[in-house]
C-alpha cells in the first residue's frame, strides 16, 4: 500500500528498538548468529509496521516519503516540518532548517549560535558573502543593526578586534579615514588623539612613542622617501639586470659542483624532532608535550627567528613596517567551534614567537559542508590543526596572520593545505586559524624519519611526491601567487603520499607585474633562493622554480640540508661561478639533469614545463604503496 503511511505504536517502536539492540549485542557472535539475529529483527519490525497504515501521521510524528512510514525523527538530511507534518529537504518561510535542533526540524529561530540565512532558509554557522552575522537579530544581514561590520569575521561586533571601529561607516577598517586617527588600545578611529599620544598624519594613527608608527602599518617619512627614491631608479635597475643577464648568457659557466659533506642529521629526540633546527622559532627551546615533532609541520606565518641559520636578511634596507595591502575578508565559523576547541583536549604541535600550533578534535557538524569531503565518510568527530595568535601580538603579526588566512581561503587545490575556518578573538581566546590536519607532518622530517628507520623510498614514490608539489606550484602560478619560501619543511604529507604546500607567511600576490620586488629588509631562506633574488631582491615564478629544484634535492637526499657547510656569504659567489648542489646518490641521472634545469639563469616557463618534464621522466604510481602502512610506524 503506497497511499498510506505505516504508523507503529509506542510499544511497537520500543520492541523494534529492543530487537535492534539485540542485533548490536550479537555483533561479537559468529556471522551465522548475526545473520539469524538480523533476520529475526527484520521480521519483528515488519510485523510491527503492519500494525496500522494511515493516510496521515499522529501528532508528534512526520511523514517520510522515502520509507512510507511515520517517524519521530527524519532520516539523513531531511528536516521535520510541523506545518506540513512531513519530512522535507528544505524549509519554507518563515522557518529555517535547523540541523542542531532535536530532532532536526524547520524552526522559526536558530540555536547553537547559528544565524538565519534568508537566501537558503537554513541556520548557518557562516553567513554568505556580503552579509554579516548579526547577533542582535540572530540573522545574516546586509547591514548591521547594531555595532560594527567586522570584515575579518563577517559578523557584527560591539568592539573591533582586528582593525579599527569607524563610526562613519559603522565598520571595522584597516586604515582610518582622513581626518581621524587609529587608536590601538581601543581599536577605534578617533577625531583627536588622547593625552599621551601624538597624532601622526603620515600613518593616520595615534603614536605613544613606544614602538613608532602603529596600527595602520603606514611607512615613516624616511621610509616613504626611500620608497620614492627606489621608484625613481627602478628603470635603471631593470636595465642593469638585463645587461648583466645578457652578459652571463654569453659566459661559459663551469661545471664545478660544490660538494656537500652534510650527512643525514643525527636525530637524538625519541620523537624524531630536530634538536638543532628550529624553523620560525617553533618550540625550539620548549619541551615537547606531544608525540609529534614541533618542527615546521604547521609553521606559524610570523617573522622568522633572527637566530635561525636558514634565514638571513637580504639587502641593505631597513626592516619593513606592517603592510596593509591585504584585506581582512576571511570567513569565521560559529562560536560553538571556538568553544569546542577552547574546552576540548589539545596536543601541542609547536610554539612560536606570537602563538601556538596544536591539534584538536571537533564535531564534523561544525565543519563547513564544502570541507567535509576531506574527512572519512561517516566520521562524527575529526582532527584539525589550529594556529593561534596570542592576544598581545603586534600589528605586523596580526596582519601577517590575517594575510595567510585570507590567501588560503581563496586557494583550492589538492596539493595546497586547506583552511577550514578563521575564528576571531574574544572572551580571552586568541584569533585562531583552523586547518586540515595532515597526519605525517612535514616532508623534511618524514624523509629523515624514513632514513633513520631504514625505510627506502622507491623511484615511483620520489616522483609521486615531486609531481604533487609541482602541481600545487603550477596552480599557484596560474593564480599569480608567489610562495617565496618553498622548502621541504613547508610541504606537508598526507595519506597516500599526497603532498600539500603550506606556510604562506612570506607569500605575495602579483598584480600587474610578473614579479615582486622586495622593498625592505626581511629574513629569508637564503640557501633556497635564486641568484636574481639575492642580487636584485626580485621574486618571480622563476625564483620559485629555483627553490623547487632545491626541494627535489632535499627529497632525493632524504632531507639533508642544502649547502650545509657553506657560509652564506660564499653561497652567492658559488652560484655566480656555476656551482650547483651535487647529484644525490639515489637520484637517476635524467632526474638530476632536470634539477639542473631549474637552477639555470633563465629556466623555461615555470612549473608548466617542470610538470611536463616529470610526467615524461619516469612513470609513477598514484597508488600509495601498502608496505608503508600509512607511515604510521614512523610517527
pLDDT tens-place string over residues 243-296: 333 333 333 343 333 333 222 222 222 222 233 232 322 222 333 322 223 333
Mean pLDDT of 460-471: 88
CATH topology of domain 346-436: Phosphorylase Kinase; domain 1 (3.30.200)
- Of the candidates 213, 215, 154, the one whose C-alpha atom is nearest the C-alpha of residue 183 is 215
Which pLDDT score is estimated for 268?
24
Instruction: Spell out the CATH class of 441-616.
Output: mainly alpha
Please give the model's pTM, rounded to 2 decimal places.
0.48
Cross-strand partners of 205? 182, 200
Please state, as a whole number, how many other Cβ atoms lie within 10 Å of the Cβ of residue 609.
15
- Grade residue 153 by pLDDT with cuts at 50, 70 and 90: low
Statement: residue 446 has pLDDT above 50: yes
Non-local CB neighbours of 7 within 8 Å, separated by 6+ positions: 51, 52, 53, 54, 57, 58, 61, 69, 70
Pick the residue with more confidence: 136 or 521? 136
Buried b (16+ CB within 10 A) or exposed e, 584-597: beebbeebbebbee
Which pLDDT score is estimated for 260?
33
- Grade residue 448 by pLDDT with cuts at 50, 70 and 90: very high
Q: How does DSSP assign 176-219, residue by residue?
A: PPTT-EEEGGGTEEESSPPTT-EEETTTTEEE-SSSSS-SS-PP
Pick the residue with more confidence: 184 or 174? 184
Mean pLDDT of 35-61: 51
Cα dihedral 625, 434, 389, 280, rounded to 10, equals: 10
- Grade residue 95 by pLDDT with cuts at 50, 70 and 90: very high
* Weakest mean pLDDT among 321-330, 488-497, 531-540: 321-330
Statement: residue 488 has pLDDT above 90: yes
> What value does the mean pLDDT of the chain take?
67
Highest mean pLDDT among 109-118, 363-372, 500-509: 109-118
pLDDT tens-place string over residues 602-624: 544 445 445 544 544 443 333 33
Please state, as a whole number, how many other Cβ atoms lie within 10 Å of the Cβ of residue 450.
19
Distances from the Cα of 74 to the Cαs of 16, 55, 69, 82, in angstroms? Answer: 17, 18, 10, 12
CA distance 169 to 152: 15
Statement: residue 4 has pLDDT above 60: no
What's the chain's Rg over C-alpha atoms? Answer: 29
Grid coordinates standing for 268?
637524538
Domain ranges of the chain: 43-125, 140-206, 346-436, 441-616
Half-sphere exposure of 557 (CA within 13 A, CB side): 25
* Weakest mean pLDDT among 29-43, 485-499, 553-567: 29-43
**H-helix or E-strand containing 554?**
helix 541-556
Statement: residue 332 has pLDDT above 50: no
Grid coordinates standing for 375?
574527512
- Grade residue 511 by pLDDT with cuts at 50, 70 and 90: low
pLDDT tens-place string over residues 549-603: 999 999 999 999 998 888 877 877 887 778 888 999 888 888 888 888 888 765 4
Non-local CB neighbours of 369 within 8 Å, separated by 6+ positions: none
Half-sphere exposure of 498 (CA within 13 A, CB side): 14
Pick the residue with more confidence: 383 or 150? 383
Which pLDDT score is estimated for 369?
80
Mean pLDDT of 60-84: 85
Kind of pairing, strands 171-173 and 148-150?
parallel
Grid coordinates standing for 439?
597526519
Statement: residue 540 has pLDDT above 60: yes
Which pLDDT score is estimated for 353?
62
Pick the residue with more confidence: 308 or 398? 398
Grid coordinates standing for 170?
559603522
Which pLDDT score is estimated for 577?
79
Non-local CB neighbours of 295 within 8 Å, separated by 6+ positions: 273, 274, 277, 278, 279, 282, 350, 441, 442, 444, 445, 489
Mean pLDDT of 287-314: 37
Which pLDDT score is estimated for 209?
67
How many whole angstroms from its chain centre is CA 542? Answer: 24
CA distance 163 to 172: 6
* Weakest mean pLDDT among 200-209, 227-236, 270-279, 504-513: 270-279
Mean pLDDT of 229-238: 36
- What is the helix, strand, coil percentage profile of the chain, to 5? 30, 20, 50
Which pLDDT score is estimated for 164?
85
Non-local CB neighbours of 175 within 8 Å, separated by 6+ positions: 182, 204, 216, 218, 324
Non-local CB neighbours of 610 within 8 Å, separated by 6+ positions: 470, 473, 474, 545, 548, 594, 598
Strands (E) located in 277-317 = 312-313
User: Crossing angle of helices 606-617/589-598, nearest 10°?
Assistant: 180
Entry field: residues in the chain: 635
Amino acid at each position: 500500500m503506497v497511499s498510506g503511511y505505516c504508523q507503529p505504536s509506542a510499544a511497537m517502536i520500543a520492541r523494534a528498538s529492543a530487537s535492534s539492540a539485540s542485533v548490536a549485542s550479537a555483533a561479537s557472535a559468529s556471522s551465522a548468529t548475526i545473520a539469524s539475529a538480523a533476520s529475526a529483527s527484520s521480521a519483528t519490525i515488519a510485523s510491527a509496521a503492519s500494525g496500522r497504515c494511515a493516510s496521515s501521521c499522529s501528532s508528534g510524528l512526520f511523514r517520510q516519503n522515502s520509507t512510507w512510514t511515520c517517524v519521530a525523527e527524519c532520516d539523513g538530511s531531511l528536516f521535520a516540518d510541523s506545518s506540513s507534518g512531513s519530512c522535507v529537504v528544505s524549509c519554507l518561510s518563515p522557518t529555517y532548517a535547523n540541523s542542531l535542533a532535536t530532532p532536526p526540524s524547520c524552526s522559526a529561530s536558530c540555536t547553537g549560535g547559528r544565524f538565519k540565512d534568508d537566501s537558503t532558509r537554513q541556520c548557518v554557522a557562516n553567513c554568505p558573502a556580503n552579509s554579516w552575522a548579526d547577533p542582535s537579530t540572530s540573522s545574516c544581514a546586509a547591514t548591521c543593526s547594531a555595532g560594527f561590520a567586522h570584515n575579518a569575521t563577517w559578523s557584527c561586533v560591539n568592539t573591533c578586534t582586528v582593525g579599527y571601529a569607524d563610526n562613519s561607516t559603522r565598520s571595522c577598517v584597516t586604515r582610518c579615514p582622513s581626518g581621524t586617527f587609529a587608536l590601538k588600545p581601543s581599536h577605534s578611529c578617533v577625531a583627536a588623539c588622547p593625552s599621551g599620544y601624538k597624532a601622526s598624519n603620515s600613518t593616520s594613527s595615534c603614536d605613544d612613542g613606544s614602538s613608532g608608527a602603529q596600527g595602520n602599518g603606514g611607512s615613516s617619512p624616511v621610509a616613504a622617501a626611500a620608497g620614492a627614491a627606489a621608484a625613481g631608479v627602478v628603470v635603471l635597475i631593470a636595465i642593469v639586470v638585463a645587461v648583466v643577464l645578457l652578459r652571463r648568457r654569453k659566459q661559459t659557466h663551469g661545471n664545478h659542483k660544490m660538494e656537500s659533506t652534510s650527512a643525514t642529521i643525527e636525530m637524538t629526540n625519541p620523537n624524531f624532532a630536530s634538536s638543532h633546527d628550529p624553523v620560525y622559532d617553533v618550540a625550539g627551546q620548549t619541551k615537547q608535550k606531544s608525540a609529534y615533532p614541533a618542527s615546521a609541520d604547521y609553521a606559524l606565518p610570523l617573522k622568522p627567528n633572527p637566530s635561525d641559520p636558514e634565514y638571513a636578511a637580504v639587502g641593505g634596507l631597513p626592516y619593513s613596517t606592517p603592510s596593509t595591502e591585504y584585506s581582512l575578508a576571511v570567513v569565521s565559523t560559529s562560536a560553538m567551534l571556538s568553544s569546542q576547541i577552547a574546552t576540548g583536549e589539545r596536543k601541542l604541535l609547536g610554539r612560536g614567537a606570537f602563538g601556538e600550533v596544536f591539534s584538536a578534535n571537533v564535531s564534523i557538524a561544525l565543519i563547513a559542508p564544502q570541507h567535509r569531503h576531506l574527512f572519512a565518510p561517516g566520521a562524527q568527530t575529526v582532527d584539525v590543526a589550529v594556529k593561534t595568535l596570542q592576544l598581545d601580538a603586534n600589528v605586523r603579526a596580526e596582519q601577517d596572520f590575517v594575510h595567510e588566512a585570507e590567501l588560503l581561503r581563496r586557494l583550492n587545490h589538492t596539493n595546497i593545505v586547506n583552511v577550514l575556518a578563521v575564528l576571531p578573538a574574544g572572551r580571552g581566546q586568541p584569533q585562531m586559524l583552523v586547518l586540515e590536519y595532515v597526519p605525517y607532518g612535514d616532508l623534511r622530517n618524514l624523509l629523515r624519519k624514513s632514513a633513520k628507520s631504514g625505510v627506502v623510498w622507491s623511484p615511483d614514490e620520489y616522483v609521486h611526491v615531486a609531481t604533487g608539489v609541482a602541481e600545487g606550484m603550477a596552480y599557484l602560478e596560474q593564480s599569480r601567487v608567489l610562495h617565496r619560501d618553498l622548502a621541504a619543511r613547508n610541504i606537508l604529507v598526507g595519506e597516500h603520499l599526497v603532498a600539500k604546500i603550506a606556510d604562506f607567511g612570506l607569500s605575495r600576490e602579483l598584480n600587474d607585474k610578473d614579479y615582486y620586488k622586495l622593498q625592505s629588509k626581511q629574513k629569508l631562506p637564503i640557501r633556497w633562493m635564486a641568484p636574481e633574488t639575492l642580487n636584485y631582491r626580485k621574486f618571480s615564478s622563476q625564483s620559485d622554480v629555483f627553490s623547487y629544484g632545491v626541494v627535489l634535492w632535499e627529497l632525493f637526499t632524504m632531507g639533508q640540508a642544502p649547502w650545509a657547510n657553506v657560509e652564506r656569504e660564499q653561497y652567492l659567489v658559488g652560484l655566480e661561478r656555476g656551482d650547483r648542489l651535487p647529484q644525490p646518490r639515489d637520484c637517476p641521472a635524467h632526474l638530476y639533469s632536470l634539477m639542473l634545469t631549474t637552477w639555470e639563469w633563465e629556466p623555461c616557463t615555470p612549473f608548466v614545463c617542470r610538470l611536463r618534464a616529470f610526467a615524461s621522466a619516469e612513470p609513477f604510481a598514484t597508488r600509495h604503496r601498502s608496505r608503508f602502512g600509512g607511515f604510521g610506524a614512523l610517527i
